[in-house]
């Protein structure tokens, strides 16, 4: 099982954006900003009244790509190409910590099938990996400007939930995580979940960032898969 009986250290530091009415759904959006609300402010602008947003912050760790300097990160990054070595133990540990949030919310009345994971860049990568390997059937994944960690381990690493809706969004001018990596990820995902579950959107002229059109697509995806009940 993934993360049973774990404490939830990430929630102590997380920014939580509460719903305006009874919360019947939640979106966990792990991020790497530390000194500001970061994505929480962006998500507030597209929030639905019955949905709670939880934005856990990555802890500072030494990152190889950053010359081993400390920076907020969910796992070590040795490179940003599909063939780069990966921090397998760090990825799995981070996924356990995100799963602990899912299980905490479930104990407090929001079932996993009313919980969505999302994230940008490394946060999106972590959300993809967690949703695909966790035993819980989640409502979906929002994967922005990211990739699938440990992609060589799939589809065998998957928990087998074939009906997981996934929205991938990527800027076509992203030089940090090139859009080709996003497209390769989308094709890989079609071998893990039902292909019709995958939506891959690209945005002309967008670099490694977000845009209003992308956030409108995210809001529509959340509305579709986390309707008011």
Active site residues: 121, 174, 208
Q: How far is CA 217 from the centre of its chain?
A: 15
**Closest by CA position to 53, among listed 37, 38, 36, 40:** 40
Cβ(39)–Cβ(218) under 8 Å? Answer: no
Kind plus residue range of the DSSP H or E element containing 106: helix 88-107
| Cβ neighbours of residue 64 closer than 8 Å, sequence gap 6 or more | 76, 77, 78
The residue behind tokens 């995958």 is 198
Alpha-carbon distance of 101 to 75, in angstroms, equals 18
Cβ(5)–Cβ(92) under 8 Å? Answer: no
């Amino acid at each position: 099982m993934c993360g049973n009986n774990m404490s939830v250290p990430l929630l102590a530091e997380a920014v939580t954006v509460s719903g305006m009415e009874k919360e019947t759904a939640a979106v966990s959006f792990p991020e790497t900003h530390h000194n500001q609300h970061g994505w929480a402010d962006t998500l507030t602008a597209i929030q639905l009244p019955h949905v709670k947003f939880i934005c856990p912050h990555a802890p500072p760790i030494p990152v190889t790509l950053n010359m081993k300097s400390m920076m907020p990160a969910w796992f070590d990054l040795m490179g940003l190409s599909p063939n780069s070595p990966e921090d397998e133990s760090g990825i799995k540990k981070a996924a356990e910590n995100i799963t602990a949030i899912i299980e905490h919310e479930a104990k407090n009345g929001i079932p996993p099938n009313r919980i969505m994971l999302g994230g940008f860049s490394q946060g999106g990568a972590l959300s993809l990996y967690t949703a695909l390997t966790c035993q819980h059937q989640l409502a979906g994944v929002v994967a922005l400007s990211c990739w699938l960690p440990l992609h060589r381990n799939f589809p065998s690493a998957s928990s087998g939930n074939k009906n997981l809706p996934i929205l991938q969004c990527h800027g076509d001018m992203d030089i940090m995580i090139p859009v080709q990596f996003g497209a390769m990820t989308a094709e890989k995902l079609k071998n893990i979940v039902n292909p019709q579950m995958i939506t891959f959107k690209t945005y002309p002229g967008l670099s490694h960032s977000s845009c209003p059109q992308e956030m409108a697509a995210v809001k529509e995806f959340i509305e579709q898969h986390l309707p008011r009940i």
